[in-house]
Amino acid sequence: MSVLTTPAGIAADAADVLRRRPGADIAGAVFRWLLIGATVFATGFLGVLLAVMIVDGWDVLSGNLWYFLTNGFSQRSAAESGVSQGIIGSLQVALVTGVFAVPIGVATAIYLVEYAQDSRFARIVELNIRNLAGVPSIVYGLLGLAVFVQTIDRFTKGASVIAGGMTLAALVLPIIVITSVEALKAVPDSLREAAYGVGATKWEVLSRQVLPAALSTILTGTVLALARALGEAAPLILVGAATGFLSFGDANMFETFTGPYTALPVQIFNFARLPGADWGVNAAAASVVILVLVLAVNGLAIYLRNRFEKQW
């Protein structure tokens, strides 16, 4: 047991024993730098990604960005093509997604937190939500194709913004439920008890105390979910978002929701698979546009959350 200094020994040479030895913690330093390297790699590639896309898309971004943002796809050449249809389509799809997913998602969360009391049905709903959250996005495309495009086509008019929005609504539903459940659980019980204590019914407690208190967090979750929807391409391809030429004619506002459409990520996909370097420039420029859009929406969500964080 020679390595262990005996207590008697230490008194004599405490100074030497306790000395900081240079190099005693080389392993620690190496480990730490490895971790820093991993962290830089994990987070730093966002910077590389943005830089690469800006450089590759520079011809469009520097020259005719406005034209690019305000004109549609042209079969003739990359230079004449823009992403306006994609941007408008994405916003329309996101709107429909929100209209379907937010009420259902938040209501489900309210049911789970405020009403369910560990019933069998509640457990099924919970398990179901957790599993839905892990289903690959393209599988939602199959659901959309079979149900929203084909089965209820009287309502959606086939491959339309409505069908696309409903598909993405199914996709983000679990995200909204999960974040809303967390928001509601974070509301302290004392608040509920205080409201019951003055004679409010369950609904009154909910609508006047609990929901207002949880609102900002629910909002954050919703914004994050919609950001996710903005970036999705795979399910939209299956439910028929146009990947090529699209002519609107002179459709009115309502008809654009039931007619052919495309979305920004789908357009990027389309640019990327067309042969020729000039389409590649468009793909990169459109990537910058969608990154800015998605990062801005996420930034908004994170800002909202930090702003309203920890009220109690």
Partner 1 sequence: MSLTQDRPELTAADLQTSRSRRARSHTVRWLFMGAAAVTVLVSALIIWTVASEAWTYISQVELDKLTDIGWFPRRGLFDLSTLLVNTLQISVIAMLVAVPSGFGAAIYLSEYAHPRVRKVMKPTLELLASVPSVVLGVFAISFITPSILTNFFDDINYFNKLAAGIAVGLLVIPLIASIAEDSLRAVPLALREASAGLGARKVTTSIRVVLPAALSGLMAATIVGFSRAIGETMVVTIASGGGDTSLFNLSILESGGTLTSAMAALGLGTDQVAGNNLAFQSLYFLGALLFAITLVLNMLGDVIVRRLRNRY
Partner 2 sequence: MSQEPEASASDVTVPDALAPKDQSRARIDVSAVAAMAPQRVETSTVFECADVDVYYTDFRALRDVTLDVNSHEVTALIGPSGCGKTTFLRCFNRMNDLIEGARVEGTINYHGVDLYQDEVDPVEVRRRVGMVFQKPNPFPKSIYDNVAYGPRLAGVKRSEIDDVVEGSLTRAALWDEVKDRLKMSAYGLSGGQQQRLCIARAIAVQPDVVLMDEPCSALDPIATGRIEELIAELKTDYTIIIVTHNMQQAARISDMTAFFSVQANEMGQRTGELVEYAPTSLIFTNPDDPRTEAYITGRVG
Which partner from the list partner 2, partner 1, none does 237 bind, CB cut-off 5 to 8 Å by kind?
partner 1
Residue 194 tokens read as: 């205080």
> By CB under 8 A, how many residues form the interface with partner 2?
20
Instruction: Closer to partner 2 by CB, 13 or 204: give it.
Output: 13
Closest CA to 170 of 104, 261, 92, 239: 104
DSSP state at residue 148 = I
Smallest separation, CB 15 to partner 2 (Å): 4
Which partner from the list partner 1, partner 2, none does 292 bind, CB cut-off 5 to 8 Å by kind?
none
Distance, in Å, from the CA atom of 69 to the CA atom of 81, rounded to the nearest integer, reads 9
Distance, in Å, from the CA atom of 290 to the CA atom of 69, rounded to the nearest integer, reads 11
Closest CA to 202 of 114, 301, 126: 114
Residue reference for tokens 């793909």 = 283
Smallest separation, CB 253 to partner 1 (Å): 26
CB proximity list for 285: less than 8 A, separation 6 or greater: 53, 56, 57, 59, 60, 61, 65, 68
Residue reference for tokens 């920004």 = 264
Smallest separation, CB 13 to partner 1 (Å): 17
Closest CA to 162 of 94, 233, 258, 69: 258
Which among 3-11, 40-48, 103-111, 204-212 is the span making contact with partner 2, rule CB under 8 A? 3-11
Does position 4 interact with partner 2 (CB under 8 A)? The reply is: yes
Which partner from the list partner 2, partner 1, none does 284 bind, CB cut-off 5 to 8 Å by kind?
partner 1
Distance, in Å, from the CA atom of 290 to the CA atom of 73, rounded to the nearest integer, reads 16
Instruction: Closer to partner 2 by CB, 15 or 42: give it.
Output: 15
Which partner from the list partner 2, partner 1, none does 8 bind, CB cut-off 5 to 8 Å by kind?
partner 2
The DSSP H or E segment spanning 245 is none
Instruction: Closer to partner 1 by CB, 134 or 252: give it.
Output: 134
Distance, in Å, from the CA atom of 308 to the CA atom of 312, rounded to the nearest integer, reads 10
Instruction: Closer to partner 1 by CB, 197 or 253: give it.
Output: 197
From residue 106, alpha-carbon distances to 18, 112, 174, 185, 240 in Å are 59, 10, 10, 13, 28
Distance, in Å, from the CA atom of 274 to the CA atom of 282, rounded to the nearest integer, reads 10
Instruction: Closer to partner 1 by CB, 183 or 252: give it.
Output: 183
Q: What residues between 18 and 37 interact with partner 2 by CB under 8 A?
A: 18-21, 24-25
Smallest separation, CB 311 to partner 1 (Å): 19
Smallest separation, CB 248 to partner 1 (Å): 19
Which partner from the list partner 1, partner 2, none does 12 bind, CB cut-off 5 to 8 Å by kind?
partner 2
Which among 1-9, 100-108, 120-128, 214-222 is the span making contact with partner 2, rule CB under 8 A? 1-9
Secondary structure of residue 105 in the 3-state scheme? helix
Smallest separation, CB 266 to partner 1 (Å): 8
Instruction: Closer to partner 2 by CB, 20 or 310: give it.
Output: 20
CB 247 within 8 A of CB 255: no
Q: Rule CB under 8 A: which residues touch partner 2?
A: 1, 3-8, 10-12, 14-21, 24-25
